[in-house]
């Protein structure tokens, strides 16, 4: 235990780190702990609509794989070239739902790399700073979410519905008027209670066939 603590506190960034079975196990353990902290931050910074549990698990796998791969190839240039050539044929076609996910991918790689080279202090410091910054910015930007409201009804109610939505501060995104009916798509940002009152007021109007509130980032065809 004392030897591991000395390795944790005494290694310099970029300094020699001899891979033994004991050091490899300690690196993997450090990766699991640091990646678990990253996954907690990932969960805190995503709401129920954007949170992806499978992607969360993938981040843990990525951190562990980068630790093991770098630990195996850091002292073998020929093996590193072989691994690089093998990875170059891999093509990832998965689109990220949230731009922040790309940042978490690089964070997972940074954890794996710092663990594999023995830069544990740098890994801890960078993870704590990164997590703190993300949580602070997430709390600062948290507020009423943008929602898309779709209203369908009979044409005589068109002007009244538009006035109600404009009074609520909504902005028009799409407006389709047919012979006897209409369809309006508005973007609004308000608290849940205010949104519920507006929805009930519009849906109770005579001639309204439907009112739908779509989740954030939902595209309307």
Which residue range(s) make up the domain with 124?
A: 2-141
Q: Is residue 21 part of a domain?
A: yes
Give yes or no: residues 16 and 90 share one domain: yes
pLDDT on residue 119? 85
Q: What is the pLDDT of residue 51?
A: 76
SS3 171: strand
DSSP alpha helix (H) spans, 50-157: 53-73, 77-87, 100-116, 120-141
C-beta of residue 42 within 8 angstroms of C-beta of residue 62: no
Continuous segment of H or E residues that includes residue 220: none
Domain match, 100 and 163 both: no
Judgement on whether residues 60 and 160 belong to the same structural domain of the protein: no
Evaluate whether 150 touches 134 at the Cβ level (below 8 Å).
no
Please give the pLDDT value at position 85: 60
Same domain? For 100 and 73 the reply is: yes
207: left (phi over 0), alpha (psi -120 to 50) or beta: left
Q: What total of structural domains would you count in the chain?
A: 2
Counting Cα atoms < 13 Å in the Cβ hemisphere of 178 gives: 8
Residues 116 and 198 in one domain: no
Residue 127's pLDDT is what? 92
Domain final residue pick, 96, 112, 141: 141
Structure tokens at 210: 């439907």
Q: Residue 141 and residue 168: Cα distance in Å, rounded?
A: 21
Query: Residues 16-27: pLDDT tens digits?
Result: 566 778 888 888
| Of 198, 113, 90, residue with least CA distance to 149 | 198
In terms of domains, do 107 and 193 share one?
no
Q: Is residue 219 one of the residues assigned to a domain?
A: no
Q: Which of the residues in the chain have pLDDT under 50?
A: 4, 8-14, 218, 220
- One domain for residues 42 and 130: yes
| Gyration radius of the chain over CA positions | 26
Give yes or no: residues 72 and 34 share one domain.
yes
Q: Which of 119, 141, 163 is the last residue of a domain?
A: 141
pLDDT for res 13: 45
pLDDT score for 12: 45
């Amino acid at each position: 235990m004392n030897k591991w603590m000395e390795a944790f506190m005494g290694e310099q960034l970029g300094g020699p780190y001899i891979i033994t079975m004991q050091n490899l196990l300690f690196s993997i353990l450090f990766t699991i702990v640091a990646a678990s902290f990253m996954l907690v931050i990932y969960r805190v910074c995503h709401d129920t609509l954007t949170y992806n549990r499978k992607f969360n698990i993938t981040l843990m796998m990525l951190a562990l794989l980068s630790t093991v791969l770098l630990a195996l190839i850091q002292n073998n240039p020929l093996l590193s070239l072989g691994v690089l050539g093998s990875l170059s044929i891999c093509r990832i076609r998965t689109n990220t739902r949230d731009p922040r996910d790309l940042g978490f991918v690089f964070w997972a790689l940074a954890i794996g790399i710092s663990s594999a080279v023995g830069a544990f202090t740098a890994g801890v410091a960078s993870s704590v700073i990164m997590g703190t910054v993300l949580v602070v910015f997430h709390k600062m930007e948290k507020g009423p979410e943008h929602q898309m409201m779709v209203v369908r009804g009979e044409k005589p109610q068109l002007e009244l519905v538009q006035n109600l939505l404009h009074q609520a501060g909504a902005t028009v995104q799409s407006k389709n008027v047919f012979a006897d009916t209409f369809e309006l798509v508005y973007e609004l940002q308000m608290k849940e209670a205010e949104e519920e009152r507006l929805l009930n007021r519009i849906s109770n109007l005579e001639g309204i066939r439907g009112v739908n509130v779509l989740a954030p980032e939902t595209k309307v065809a």
